[in-house]
């Protein structure tokens, strides 16, 4: 039963860290454009550095 007195504060610390990380992500605009990164893999980059020149 005394383990509860240890686990509850540890759980509260984890929740506080998770909430802080979530608000940091929202504040740093991580969730502003959710569609861009999902569709960016469908299009080619115009990067010629990886192509071999004959």
How far is Cα 48 from Cα 17, in angstroms, rounded to an integer? Answer: 43
Domain count, the chain: 1
Domain membership flag for residue 52: no
- Nearest 5°: the CA angle 23, 26, 31 is 145
Domain membership flag for residue 3: yes
pLDDT digits (tens, 9 = 90+) for 1-54: 899 999 999 999 999 999 999 999 888 887 777 676 667 777 777 655 555 554
Q: Whole-model pTM?
A: 0.57
What pLDDT, on a 0 to 100 scale, did the predictor assign at position 32?
74
Domain membership flag for residue 13: yes
DSSP state of 47: -
Domain membership flag for residue 20: yes
What pLDDT, on a 0 to 100 scale, did the predictor assign at position 7?
97
Domain membership flag for residue 14: yes
What pLDDT, on a 0 to 100 scale, did the predictor assign at position 13?
98
Backbone angles phi, psi at 16, to 5 degrees: -65, -40
What pLDDT, on a 0 to 100 scale, did the predictor assign at position 44?
73
Domain holding 23, by residue range, is 1-32
């Amino acid at each position: 039963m005394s383990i509860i007195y240890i686990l509850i504060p540890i759980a509260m610390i984890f929740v506080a860290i998770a909430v802080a990380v979530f608000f940091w992500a929202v504040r740093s605009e991580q969730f502003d454009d959710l569609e861009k990164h999902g569709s960016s893999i469908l299009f080619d980059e115009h990067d010629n550095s990886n192509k071999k020149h004959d």
